[in-house]
Amino acid sequence: MAESSFTSALSPAASQANYDPLTKKLRAGASYATTRPSEDVDTSDRPSEDVDRSDDFPTSFKFGASIFDAWRRPEPVARSDFPPSFKFGASSSALQTESYATEGRRGHCTWDEMLGDLPAVHSLILHFLVQDTTKGPHSINKQGVDFYNRLLDELNHNGIMPMVTLCHFDVPSALQKKYNGILGRQFVNDFNDYANLCFQLFGDKVKHWITFNEPSVYCESGYQYEMTGKDEPAIYPYLAAHHLLLAHATSVKTYRDCYQKQQNGKIGISLVTAWFLPYSGSCHDIVYLDPIVTGDYPFSMKSIVRDRLPQFSSEEKKMLEGSYDFIGVNYYTSRYTRALPFSPNDIPVSYAKDQYVEMLTEDKDGVPIGPQSEGMEFMYIAPKWLASILVNLKTKYNNPLIYITENGYPQLIQDKTMEEICDDQVRIDYIKDHLVSIRTALREGVNVDGYFSWTLMDNMEVKGYYYTIGFGLHHVDIPNDFERFPKKSAFWYRKFLSGKRAPLLSEPIIAKEPIMEPINAKATV
């Protein structure tokens, strides 16, 4: 079974027709799950080759089922598979969607500096930033406040629950210049002041706050090399992470002490995740998750990083412990991992090297972890591992409340016609397959309460892709006055959501994948 990891996503016929083994990519125009007969009923069971119990296996051979068998079942995914209170939506970020840094007194943030002053799309968004970065953290941008008040009123008026991220990589450049941004201890208080301001100004309209988006991306990518220009990759990511965690915990404390009771909201953080095979059992953001659950860094991290890792005081540990009402999970792809040799005498090189792990996209037979996406070469589509992440979070962290705050498909849009861009069947398949994975997790008792597709509309993509790819449910025709066009996926999503509601199906799951021991998680809200 050379196609083992593909059989879960592609039927043999589809895989032969659409997958090019030489380039290890989908053939042009191929959707990775093309065998489905209709848009809203997914009846493909993604069969592997025929096998026979009596011919192919000894009589003593043991068979069981893992949670992944549920994912393989030919059951269509429907709105009714999710509890009525389950939230569906689409996410976006101000930096990637809103405007030039010079417009509306937004001011520059560190990402503008890396990317240049690019046009972005004016739109309704669900994640945003409010501050006058031209003046510094203690000033209020009246224009921004008015804009977001109107936006929030409009969303609430239309029955859309806003879930707001306070910082999606967009730390003001002014703070970067003043004290090296997040590398400066002062960032903790400045972020807390800014968060306090947002709770005060918008807390009556916002019931879900996210302090930071993907801290690991910000601290690791930003502070290993790119942001500082200084070569301290074995130190800066830890310092940045340390301050970010304290800024998170301090603002959660502020919210809980001063606002939560009257405003009746929740607060959490969004972490990027990936499932690692075969040595798995760990989520990518354990560096961030363990401290906010237990109040300290994981033992493995402390023992490798040793004196390069800043320490929390006992008061800080107390503040960090349990500093979340929910965990946001961003999921795009997964990886195979291979351990690298470790010696206590190794000279520290970088944050990445400290992990002593090599991340691979293919297994030992050269089979990719999933089909490669069209628009981002490193993004392999691997929906079933989302269930593993969610079950692992449940087991290890005392079943926290979870929202899938980002999950989306990068579509190549450069040099394509409007018709080609809007015909995004591949995105529909992508969303469906991830919903199947979430359904599996729900049946395993995971406390997942919402799914947000990244992103509402094509926007400026980070990592140098700019406007060449689109994650959107809608396309934005930038040269033609930013006109928006719903893609096929937007229509599908609407139809899916209007499906009848029914109780969650219960299905027996016989055995589970091995997962890690629970750590001492403190129950929160």
Cβ 471 to ligand BGC, closest distance in Å? 6
> What residues numbered 422-441 form the site for ligand BGC, per CB under 6 A?
none
Nearest approach, Cβ of residue 319 and ligand BGC (Å): 26
Catalytic center residues: 214, 406
Distance in Å, CB of 141 to ligand BGC, minimum:
22
- Applying CB under 6 A, the span of 242-250, 389-397, 454-462, 474-482 interacting with ligand BGC comes to 454-462
Nearest approach, Cβ of residue 36 and ligand BGC (Å): 25
Nearest approach, Cβ of residue 454 and ligand BGC (Å):
6
In sequence order, which residues have a C-beta less than 8 Å from that of residue 111 and are 6 or more positions away? 95, 169, 170, 462
Q: Minimal distance in Å, beta carbon 127 to ligand BGC?
A: 9
Judged by CB under 6 A, does residue 114 bind ligand BGC?
no
Pairwise CA distance, residues 382 & 386, whole Å: 8
- The correct pick among 155, 462, 478, 519 for binding ligand BGC (CB under 6 A) is 462
Query: How far apart, in Å, are the Cα atoms of 172 and each of 27, 131, 318, 341?
Result: 42, 9, 29, 40
Amino acid type, 78: A
**In DSSP terms, which residues pair with 167 in a beta bridge?**
212
Backbone phi and psi for residue 457, each to the nearest 5 degrees, phi listed first = -150, 155
**Whole-angstrom distance, CA of residue 422 vs CA of residue 524:** 43
Q: Which is nearer to ligand BGC, 96 or 224 (CB)?
A: 96
Binding pattern for the stretch 389-408 against ligand BGC, x by CB under 6 A and - elsewhere: -----------------x--
In whole angstroms, what is the distance from residue 118 CA to residue 183 CA?
26
| DSSP-derived 3-state class of residue 189 | helix
Exposure letters 290-310 (e unless 16+ CB within 10 A, then b): bbbbbbbbbeebeebbeeebb
Coil, strand, or helix at residue 12?
A: helix
Minimum gap (Å) between residue 212 Cβ and ligand BGC: 10
Question: Which stretch in 180-188, 212-220, 245-253, 278-286 sits in contact with ligand BGC by CB under 6 A?
Answer: 212-220
Residues 352-391: x/- map of binding to ligand BGC (CB under 6 A)?
----------------------------------------
Q: How far is the CB of 377 from ligand BGC (least distance, A)?
A: 12
User: Which residue's CB is nearer to ligand BGC, number 272 or number 436?
Assistant: 272
H or E element: which one contains 488? Answer: helix 488-497
- Is 458 near ligand BGC (CB under 6 A)? no
In the range 68-87, which residues lie near ligand BGC by CB under 6 A? none
Helix 186-202 and helix 236-258: axis angle, to 10°?
A: 40
Is 333 an interacting residue with respect to ligand BGC (CB under 6 A)?
Answer: no
Binding flag, residue 145, ligand BGC (CB under 6 A):
no
Size of the residue set binding ligand BGC (CB under 6 A): 12
DSSP secondary structure string for all residues of 241-267: HHHHHHHHHHHHHHHHHHTHHHH--EE
With CB under 6 A as the contact rule, the residue among 93, 133, 337, 395 that binds ligand BGC is 93
Which of 98, 132, 170, 214 contacts ligand BGC by CB under 6 A?
214
- Report the C-alpha gap between 445 and 448 in whole angstroms: 9
- By beta-carbon proximity to ligand BGC, the closer residue of 190 and 406 is 406
Instruction: Select 203 or 450, whichever has its Cβ closest to ligand BGC.
Output: 450
Binding of ligand BGC by 330 (CB under 6 A): yes
Are residues 324 and 249 in contact, defined by beta-carbon separation less than 8 angstroms? no
| Out of 217, 258, 352, 519, the residue judged to bind ligand BGC by CB under 6 A | 217
422 CB-near residues (< 8 Å, 6+ apart)? 475, 485, 486, 487, 488
Dihedral pair phi/psi, residue 141, rounded to 5°: -90, 100
453 binds ligand BGC (CB under 6 A): no
Neighbours of 182 (CB within 10 A): 30
Residues 234-273 that bind ligand BGC (CB under 6 A): 272
**Is the separation of the CB atoms in 473 and 418 below 8 Å?**
no
CA distance 263 to 280: 39
Residue 209 · residue 258 · CB < 8 Å: no
**Strand-pair partners of 461:** 466
- 238 vs 454, beta carbon nearer ligand BGC: 454
Residues that bind ligand BGC (CB under 6 A): 93, 96, 213-214, 217, 272, 330, 406, 454, 461-462, 471
